[in-house]
Amino acid sequence: MTLHTPHAPPREESAPDILCEDLVRIYSTEGIEVQALQGLSLRVDSGDVVALVGASGSGKSTLLGILSGLDTPTGGRARVAGVDLLSMTRRQRVAYQRHSVGFVWQQTSRNLMPFLSAAENIALPLVITSRRDRSERVAELLDLLDIADCRDRRPAELSGGQQQRVAIATALANTPSVLLADEPTGELDEAMSAEVLEAMRDASERLGVTVLIVTHDPTIAEHVRRTVQIRDGRTSTEVLRRTLVDESGQQRTVSQEYTVIDRAGRLQLPGSHVERLALRDRVRLELEDDHVGVWPDEDSSDDDDLREDDFRDENRPAPDQTEGLR
Ligand SMILES: Nc1ncnc2c1ncn2[C@@H]1O[C@H](COP(=O)(O)OP(=O)(O)OP(=O)(O)O)[C@@H](O)[C@H]1O
Ligand SMILES: [Mg+2]
How close is the Cα of 314 to the center of ligand 2, in Å?
A: 55
Give strand ranges (E) for 96-198.
101-104, 178-182
Kindly give, in sequence order, each residue whose CB lies less than 8 Å from that of residue 313, ignoring residues fewer than 6 positions away.
none
Tell me whether residue 69 is in a domain. yes
pLDDT reported for residue 177:
96
pLDDT reported for residue 238:
87
H-type helices in 259-298, by residue range?
A: 271-276
Tell me whether residue 5 is in a domain. no
Which residue has a Cα nearest atom 16 of ligand 1?
59
pLDDT (tens digit per residue) in 187-212:
899 899 999 999 999 999 999 999 99
C-beta separation of 194 from 223 below 8 A:
yes
Beta strand pairing call for 210-214 and 178-182: parallel
Spatial CA neighbour of 76 closest among 37, 50, 45, 44: 37
pLDDT of 309 strictly over 60: no
308 and 206 belong to one structural domain: no
Q: Using CB atoms within 10 Å of the CB of residue 127, give its burial: 0 to 12 exposed, 13 to 18 middle, 19+ buried.
A: exposed
> What's the mean pLDDT in 109-120?
94
88 and 39 belong to one structural domain: yes
pLDDT bracket for residue 236 (50, 70, 90): confident
pLDDT of 281 strictly over 90: no
Kindly give, in sequence order, each residue whose CB lies less than 8 Å from that of residue 310, ignoring residues fewer than 6 positions away.
316
224 and 133 belong to one structural domain: yes
**What share of the chain has pLDDT > 70, as a percent?**
87
> At 148, which amino acid appears?
A
Nearest ligand to residue 40 Cα:
1
291 and 193 belong to one structural domain: no
**What share of the chain has pLDDT > 90, as a percent?**
62
pLDDT bracket for residue 97 (50, 70, 90): very high
Q: Which of 68-77, 104-113, 117-126, 310-319 has the lowest mean pLDDT?
A: 310-319
Query: Which domain-ending residue is among 241, 269, 304?
Result: 241
How close is the Cα of 58 to the center of ligand 1, in Å?
A: 7
101 and 173 belong to one structural domain: yes
How close is the Cα of 267 to the center of ligand 2, in Å?
A: 24
214 and 87 belong to one structural domain: yes
Tell me whether residue 295 is in a domain. yes
Q: How far is CA 132 from the centre of its chain?
A: 33
Which residue has a Cα nearest atom 7 of ligand 1?
27
pLDDT of 220 strictly over 70: yes
Give strand ranges (E) for the chain.
18-29, 32-44, 49-53, 75-80, 83-84, 101-104, 178-182, 210-214, 226-231, 234-245, 251-259, 283-287, 292-296
234 and 302 belong to one structural domain: no
Q: How far apart are CA 240 and CA 222, in angstroms?
A: 11
> What's the mean pLDDT in 30-37?
92
- Number of domain units in the chain: 2
Mean pLDDT is highest, among 38-52, 225-239, 255-269, for 38-52
Tell me whether residue 301 is in a domain. yes
158 and 303 belong to one structural domain: no
Tell me whether residue 252 is in a domain. no
State the pTM of this model: 0.83
Which residue has a Cα nearest atom 6 of ligand 1?
27
pLDDT bracket for residue 324 (50, 70, 90): very low
pLDDT reported for residue 321:
45
C-beta separation of 264 from 39 below 8 A:
no
> What's the mean pLDDT in 243-259?
85
The side-by-side arrangement of strands in the sheet containing 83-84 is 32-44, 18-29, 75-80, 83-84
Please report the atom of ligand 1 found closest to the CA of residue 37: 14
Q: How far apart are CA 139 and CA 145, in angstroms?
A: 10
Tell me whether residue 226 is in a domain. yes
Which residue has a Cα nearest atom 25 of ligand 1?
56
Please report the atom of ligand 1 found closest to the CA of residue 63: 18
pLDDT reported for residue 132:
87
Tell me whether residue 257 is in a domain. no
Tell me whether residue 248 is in a domain. no
> Pocket of ligand 1, candidates 20, 25, 27, 187: which has the most ligand atoms within 8 Å of its Cβ, to mutate?
27
295 and 226 belong to one structural domain: no
CB atoms within 10 A of CB 159: 14
Domain hosting residue 319, numbered range: 277-326
166 and 35 belong to one structural domain: yes
How close is the Cα of 62 to the center of ligand 1, in Å?
A: 6
Query: Which domain-ending residue is among 194, 223, 241?
Result: 241
Q: How far apart are CA 139 and CA 151, in angstroms?
A: 9
Q: How far apart are CA 129 and CA 284, in angstroms?
A: 59
Query: Which domain-ending residue is among 241, 263, 294?
Result: 241
pLDDT (tens digit per residue) in 149-184:
999 999 999 999 999 999 999 999 999 999 999 999
How close is the Cα of 239 to the center of ligand 2, in Å?
A: 21
pLDDT reported for residue 273:
87
How close is the Cα of 170 to the center of ligand 2, in Å?
A: 21
Question: Residue 157: which CATH number?
Answer: 3.40.50.300
Q: Which of 34-38, 74-78, 124-128, 259-263 has the lowest mean pLDDT?
A: 259-263
Ligand 1 site residues (CB inside 6 A) read 27, 29, 34, 36, 54, 56-62
Kindly give, in sequence order, each residue whose CB lies less than 8 Å from that of residue 229, ignoring residues fewer than 6 positions away.
53, 54, 235, 236, 237, 238, 239
235 and 283 belong to one structural domain: no
